[in-house]
Amino acid sequence: MFTEYEIETMVENPEILEAAQTLKKDFLKTEAPYLEINDHDFFSLVMMAPTVGIALADGTISLFEEIALNKKARKLSKGGYFMKKDPVVYAMKFLIKNYFNWSDKFFGVLRVAINSACDLENVTQRKIDTTGEVDYSAYKEEVLNAPYILIRFIASFFLENDEDIINKDHKIGKSEYQSMVLIGEKLGLDNLVVFQMFCQTFK
């Protein structure tokens, strides 16, 4: 999971900031006209979109999922982890309400962030056979050779704990898995060998 300081660094990137501000203006005008949220916290909300999508895979968010989402949102917000009314947690309610109307726009900003932050030209890109079990040794090598920030993106979007990225026995429901693969495609990760192998680690 990204820290608030890493979020702050990404927001300082002019390309990422411009994309986030454009979406923020549209989102606030259409969805939450009275919501007060700074650029840092809005980009934190954008970073939560894939995780929200996984939680909504079966159409509803359970109490356990809501608690996990709120915990992650608080860690991303600017100094808000212990705030009673965390701005990212509050804004996330508006995203959840009409998630499927906004998800593609949020993913668009994330694609800008990934492409701006990561050197994908040096990442192995090709389609592989994912029908069998993952070659665990090859997967670990792909993770270690991939840009650090790319692995942080993948872990932040799809795992509760970053250190689980090397785990080969992730557990996930069928609908959640399908949602993860679809989100990966929308984020432009689907042609990356490391992401394809990452998906293979789920059962």
pLDDT interval class at 83 (50, 70, 90): low
| Cβ(34)–Cβ(189) below 8 Å | no
Residue-level pLDDT at 133: 86
pLDDT reading at 153 higher than 60: yes
Q: Label residues 15-52 b or e (16+ Cβ within 10 Å = b).
A: ebbebbeebbeebbeeebeebebebbbbbbbbbbbbbb
CB count in 10 Å sphere of residue 54: 20
* Average pLDDT of the residues in 109-115: 96
Residue-level pLDDT at 129: 83
Q: Measured at the alpha carbon of residue 54, what is the angle toward residues 39 and 20, in degrees to the nearest 5?
A: 15
Give the tens place of pLDDT for each residue, 40-79: 999 999 999 999 999 999 999 999 999 999 988 888 888 7
Distance separating alpha carbons of residues 138 and 24, to the nearest angstrom: 40
Q: Where are the domains of the chain?
A: 4-117, 120-200
Residue-level pLDDT at 17: 97
pLDDT interval class at 121 (50, 70, 90): confident
| Cβ(68)–Cβ(160) below 8 Å | yes
pLDDT reading at 80 higher than 70: no
Locate all alpha helices (DSSP H) within the chain, ordered by sequence: 4-11, 14-30, 39-55, 63-76, 87-97, 99-117, 136-145, 148-158, 174-186, 193-200
| Cβ(53)–Cβ(181) below 8 Å | no
